[in-house]
Amino acid sequence: MSRLIVVSNRVNPPTGGGEESVGGLAMALAASLREYSGIWFGWSGKTIEKFTGHLNIEKTGGVTAATVDLEEIDLDEYYNGYANKTLWPLFHYRNDLAAFDRAFDQGYSRVNRRFAETLAPLLQPDDIIWVHDYHLIPLARELRALGVKNRIGFFLHIPWPAHQVMINLPRHRQLVESMFDYDLVGFQTAEYQHAFEEYVLSEAEGTMVRPGCVKGFGRMLEVGAFPIGIDAADFARMVKSSRARRMRDLMKAHTVFRHLIVGVDRLDYSKGLEERFLGFEHFLTSNPDLRREVLMLQIAPVSREAVEAYQEIRARLDSLSGRINGEFADVDWAPLRWVNRNYRRDELAGIYGAARVGLVTPLRDGMNLVAKEYVAAQNPDDPGVLILSRFAGAARQMGEALLVNPNSPEEVADALRRALGMDRPERIRRWSALFDTVEREDVVGWRDAFVSALSGMNTKMRPALVV
Ligand code: ADQ
């Protein structure tokens, strides 16, 4: 069997046992690698004065990790810069927050080149290379320049924006053209795939060769939608763990006679936290009869603190939560609990399990794994209700959730009222359908679909110059 080489910006394989609090991407990749004898390659998370290309090789939790240290300037220009100040906001439709700076552009190209130069000597001829996310879009171009002929696939975890948004990016053609050096490019949903195709048709003299194959810049590229899932089997085990049970009991004890509404997100402007708080405030204002029957818990650990936009959200949310509690709290109750820390995954499973409502309302989200984790953690006999943003990729698969526009406080408030009043048969009916999807379309299925599409390809089909 060919080896699978996974490449992502950060390499942080979980050590196993449910104690980790790593992000969605890391959990998904570790689950993907465990069954393949492969390597996970990327940045170590450390900086050094002068880049050497020295590889640190370590085996953790059944995964071989090969990491490289970067320079401080790489971190500023590539990671904090082009990836998180340019591409992330733009791809999440926050053009107003996107910084365009040529130094970022250069740093991004430099790090992608350094990654390619360090990775290339490790490769064997039949390795399959799977590159992840917006940090590494031009990696295949750099590898091809070094003569790498292996199959290389790319998966984008975040949305692909509409054509009119994409063209805000200086040198957008150059970036998209570099994607034609992959054999396969995968998106979370068909909608993002179509947005990519539309870009190619409009900006790169493109044509559709057939569904799933687009020609642009004079070359052909296979594209597809591969919605990511959670490790459903592992999560189900975690839900039954003693820690999860203890956490569920603790939460229940803190909310006697009340319904818990839970939100769990990285502290990021794309997650719609301010809008969510405003929706909850509207619910409290417009439903005096239900007011004292609820408690909202929002868990949001800080992330990307080096980027200014992230420092500002926290201050705004502190003040908004203060206002809401100041307005509605009583001697024995405050409506909103706002917590900025990470939890172990088994503890999170317990928290989800205690919540009558999962409130998942990002303004834009590639997929959103929290929605799936919430569903997986419910008690089948008395499940809670998922309220989900229409703008999360997950909404495409999870139509039985209460779908809302996260920008509308009225819609969020109405959905909360509806969820709290929903009778048990309807909750069970909706949850069963959601759970079927979460279980069936899990991370293992996602990995298999992508890897088999990539490895099953005839090498002759590799995007070549069309003459
Ligand atoms: P993220 O933007 O990080 O991922 P998401 O898919 O919701 O978003 O995953 C977050 C993960 O972090 C979940 O597994 C969650 O349990 C965990 N998490 C969040 N808060 C936590 C806390 N306080 N303690 C512990 N764990 C916490 C990106 C894209 C998404 C896409 C994923 C996977 O932005 O759209 O779904 O990659 O492709």
Ligand 1 binding pocket includes 303 (Cβ within 6 Å):
no
Among 6, 25, 446, which residue has the most ligand 1 atoms within 8 Å of its CB, making it the best to mutate? Answer: 25
Whole-prediction pTM value? 0.95
Q: For residue range 243-259, what is the model confidence (pLDDT) as tens digits?
A: 999 999 999 888 887 99
User: Average per-residue pLDDT in the chain?
Assistant: 92
What are the E-state strand segments in 226-335?
A: 259-264, 294-299
What is the mean predicted confidence (pLDDT) over 89-93?
Answer: 98
Identify the residue whose tokens are 């239900």: 290
Q: For residue range 111-142, what is the model confidence (pLDDT) as tens digits?
A: 999 999 999 999 999 999 999 999 999 999 99
The catalytic site residues sit at: 157, 365
Ligand 1 binding pocket includes 12 (Cβ within 6 Å):
no
Map out the domains of the chain as residue ranges.
4-229+444-459, 232-441
> CB neighbours (10 Å) of residue 232?
22
What is the mean predicted confidence (pLDDT) over 163-172?
Answer: 97
Instruction: State the closest ligand 1 atom to the C-alpha of 371, by its place in the atom list counted from 1.
Output: 7
Q: Which pLDDT does position 25 carry in this prediction?
A: 59
Asked whether residue 450 carries a pLDDT value surpassing 90, the answer given is yes
CATH code for 4-229+444-459? Answer: 3.40.50.2000
Confidence class for position 464, pLDDT limits 50, 70, 90: very low
Ligand 1 binding pocket includes 150 (Cβ within 6 Å):
no
Q: Which pLDDT does position 101 carry in this prediction?
A: 96
Asked whether residue 458 carries a pLDDT value surpassing 70, the answer given is no
Q: Which pLDDT does position 258 carry in this prediction?
A: 92
CATH class of 232-441: alpha beta
Query: Does 4-229+444-459 match 232-441 in CATH topology?
Result: yes
Q: For residue range 341-386, what is the model confidence (pLDDT) as tens digits?
A: 989 989 999 999 999 999 999 999 999 999 999 999 999 999 999 9
Ligand 1 binding pocket includes 348 (Cβ within 6 Å):
yes
Q: Which pLDDT does position 146 carry in this prediction?
A: 98
Calculate how far, in angstroms, residue 23's C-alpha sits from the geometric centre of ligand 1. Answer: 5
Calculate how far, in angstroms, residue 265's C-alpha sits from the geometric centre of ligand 1. Answer: 7
What is the mean predicted confidence (pLDDT) over 218-237?
Answer: 92
Instruction: State the closest ligand 1 atom to the C-alpha of 28, by its place in the atom list counted from 1.
Output: 33
Whether residue 43 contacts residue 77, with contact meaning beta carbons closer than 8 Å, is answered with: no
> CB neighbours (10 Å) of residue 96?
7
Ligand 1 binding pocket includes 262 (Cβ within 6 Å):
no
Whether residue 419 contacts residue 207, with contact meaning beta carbons closer than 8 Å, is answered with: no
Asked whether residue 463 carries a pLDDT value surpassing 50, the answer given is no
449's CB contacts (< 8 A; 6+ apart) are 226
Q: Which pLDDT does position 32 carry in this prediction?
A: 66
Ligand 1 binding pocket includes 270 (Cβ within 6 Å):
no
Among 92, 267, 369, 396, which residue has the most ligand 1 atoms within 8 Å of its CB, making it the best to mutate? Answer: 369
Closest CA to 30 of 15, 50, 47: 15
Closest CA to 357 of 305, 406, 402: 402
Confidence class for position 24, pLDDT limits 50, 70, 90: low
Among 92, 243, 367, which residue has the most ligand 1 atoms within 8 Å of its CB, making it the best to mutate? Answer: 367
What's the farthest any 2 CA atoms get from each other in the chain? 76
Confidence class for position 305, pLDDT limits 50, 70, 90: confident
Q: What percent of the chain has pLDDT over 70?
A: 93
Q: Which pLDDT does position 248 carry in this prediction?
A: 92
Ligand 1 binding pocket includes 132 (Cβ within 6 Å):
no
Q: Which pLDDT does position 16 carry in this prediction?
A: 57
What is the spatial distance between Cα 76 and Cα 84, in angstroms, rounded to a whole number? 10
Tell me, what amino acid is at 42?
G
